[in-house]
Structure formats: C-alpha cells, structure tokens
Amino acid sequence: MNKDNKNKGFTLIETLLVLGIFAFAMGAVSLFLINTYKAENFSTSQALAIDSARKGVNNFTREIREARQADSGAYLLEKCDDFEIIFYGDIDKDNCVEKVRYFLEDEKMKKGVIKPSGSPAVYISEEEIKIISSYVRNTSTPLFYFYDSTFSGKDSDLSLTTPVPGDSLDEITMVGIEMIIDVNPLRAPKILEIKSKIQLRNTKQNY
C-alpha cells in the first residue's frame, strides 16, 4: 500500500480546528452585524424622537400664541403649572374655540382637546388625547414656564411661581417650553433640549 495515501484528507483534530476557526469567525461577523443594527436602530429612533419633539413644540407654539377667550366666556388661560397647561383656542380654524391641554405623562407629552357644545357653550365632552412627543425626560426640569410683563428677555429673568394662581393668570404675557429628549439615557448621544418662548397675543396686557 502506498504510504502517501494514508496522509490524504484531514485528521479529526484538523477538522475540529477548522470548524472552531469558522465558528469563531461567524460569531465575530454576527456580533458586528448585530451591533451595527443596534446602532443604526438607535440613531433612527433618536432622529424620529427629535423630529417628533420639534414638530410638537412648533405646534404648541402656534396654538398657544393664538390662545383666546373661550366660547363660554372663560379667560384664555385656565391652568398654568410645571407639567401642564390648559388654554382655549380655535386650533382647527372651525370658528369654535376648543379647550386644549398639554401635559407630561409617562415620559410623553400629550395633548387633550375638548370641543364646546350647547348654547351657551360648555366644555363637558370627552377629551380626545393623543401623544405629541415621546422620550421626554423632564423629570425634575419643568416643561412649561410662565412670565408676566416684567420679562425683559434676559436669561436672568425669573419665571412666575407655579402653579400660577387663578387670579394671576391674566398677568401672564409669555409662555416658555423646554423639552428634554433622550431615547436612552444610558448611552450617547447627549440629550437634546428644545426651548421656545411664546408671546401671547390676546392677553389682557395686550388689549
């Protein structure tokens, strides 16, 4: 028998070694693909959250700027607190003034709307609530700020103490919003802060 024939092919040890190297390489490739997918998915989620937050702030800015007296005769502002604001405005341009509530709940900024009914008008219909922005991390930082006519535009100007008393609501001339967005607080990128200050057009100070 030719001895060269005995050396052809892989031994068991060689086969196991090749399989081990292959498995290690596949594991490394799989880990790389998984991490790449997670990174892309996180970046996409963060971008969507930021876009949603900006749209939410822009929408709030537009609506609160045009706040006006309710169809029931109530003043344009009903409640002004750190994480909740209630005001009246014709937000859908249907010639009826809706009762609008923006508030923070479960790390989401939500919007509730009640349409007027009856004559004289009352706001007793069921509130329609929808989520405006997610991943809102204002745990200790107020979402809303309120200023009177003494506000000069300086960062050193103090906002009004909240909740603003009912008999002081007509002193408010400007509303600020500061939204902190972070999809995952345990990883980069850093959190995003979206800020805006809105001058109210129809307050008693501007009559």
pLDDT at 133 over 70: yes
Give domain status of residue 202, yes or no. Answer: yes
By residue range, what is the domain housing residue 110? 42-206
Enter the pTM of the model. 0.78
Give domain status of residue 94, yes or no. Answer: yes
Tens-digit pLDDT profile for residues 157-172:
899 999 999 999 999 9
Give domain status of residue 148, yes or no. Answer: yes
**Of 54, 36, 78, which is closest to residue 192 (Cα–Cα)?**
54
Buried/exposed 90-121: b ≥16 CB within 10 Å, e otherwise? bbeeeeebbbbbbbbeeeebbbbbbbbeeeee
- Cα separation of 203 and 207, whole Å? 7
Tens-digit pLDDT profile for residues 4-25:
555 555 677 777 777 777 777 7
Q: Nearest 5°: phi and psi at 11?
A: -80, 170
Give domain status of residue 29, yes or no. Answer: no
Give domain status of residue 17, yes or no. Answer: no
Higher pLDDT, 186 or 147: 147
Domain count, the chain: 1
- Cα separation of 57 and 178, whole Å? 9
Band of residue 35 on the pLDDT scale cut at 50, 70, 90: low
Task: Find tokens 């506000």 and name the residue.
Answer: 151
3-state secondary structure 33-98: HHHHHHHHHHHHHHHHHHHHHHHHHHHHHHHHHCCCCCCCCCCCEEEECCCEEEEEECCCCCCCCE
Give domain status of residue 125, yes or no. Answer: yes
Pairing of strands 172-181, 144-148: antiparallel
pLDDT at 193 over 70: yes
